[in-house]
Structure 1
Amino acid sequence: MAKAWAKASDLRRLALALNGTTEAPHFDRTAFKVARIYVTLATDGETANFKFAPDEQALKCTVAADAFTPVPNAFGKQGWTTATLSKLTIPELQSALEMAHAHALPTKAKRKPRASG
């Protein structure tokens, strides 16, 4: 059985299925976010930029070097990683989306102690 390679339509469908995700324009890309953006899709639909933790980025870029590469600027040092969709299977895309989505969930605000007096 042939592998099904990911496309922009798969990214959109899978991202919007993740809890709380919305889609909106972001400069020349389409962004998918919850509390923060976790993936952006290029207008040509060929690549997407995922927000991973630096160690997750290193793992993805090592295990699937043909599909993942750090964004070549300061954003790349923060974990932003470009993926070529046609080099990912649907399960690989799903895994990357879930990993990035986890970083975009809202964090609970810490309560500041009330001043006495």
Structure 2
Amino acid sequence: MLATDVTRLASRLPEVVEGAHNGNPDFRLAGRIFATLWLEEERLVVRLTPADIATLDEEAPGLLTPIEGAWGRRGWTNLDLWDADEAFVGLVLLAAWRRLAPALLDDESP
């Protein structure tokens, strides 16, 4: 999976704005980051709930790994892009987006 594919998938979600975080592209909803692309490392970092992580891990075991330390305890999770297909990345982005989406936007989700 390429970074351009991730950008395309993220931009399909309602009200998403692309920004930059530590020199890396990120995706925001209402000003809050829900995903960041680490281009050099070819990984996506997303913020998920424990329930989302469990569900997604059943879909594709071992692809998601929590970030170490406090960030990981807050739900920030790594996804190596080389190992993931488009359908799975789309599910991960949607789960992270929904974590931030207001109820009104969530009704419009793809």
TM-score, normalised via structure 1 length: 0.77
| Offset, 1:12 | 0.4
Question: Which contiguous aligned blocks of 4+ residues in structure 1 show a shift greater than 6 angstroms?
Answer: none
Distance 1:19 1:45 in 2: 27
Higher strand residue share: 2
Contact map agreement 1:67 1:85 (CA 8 A) in 2: no
2:28 is aligned with 1:69: no
| Offset, 1:11 | 0.5
SS in 2 for 1:23: strand
Distance 2:55 2:69 in 1: 19
Contact map agreement 1:33 1:104 (CA 8 A) in 2: no
Q: Where does residue 39 of structure 1 map in the other structure? A: 35
Contact map agreement 1:51 1:79 (CA 8 A) in 2: yes
Residue ranges of structure 1 left out of the alignment (5+ in a row): 1-5, 109-117
Contact map agreement 1:57 1:70 (CA 8 A) in 2: no
| Offset, 1:45 | 5.8
Question: What RMSD over aligned residues (CA atoms) do the two structures have, in Å?
Answer: 1.9
Q: Deviations over 1:50-83 (max 9, x none)?
A: 1101222244346534421001121101111000
Larger radius of gyration: 1
Aligned length: 103
Contact map agreement 1:28 1:43 (CA 8 A) in 2: no
What's the % identity of the aligned pairs?
28
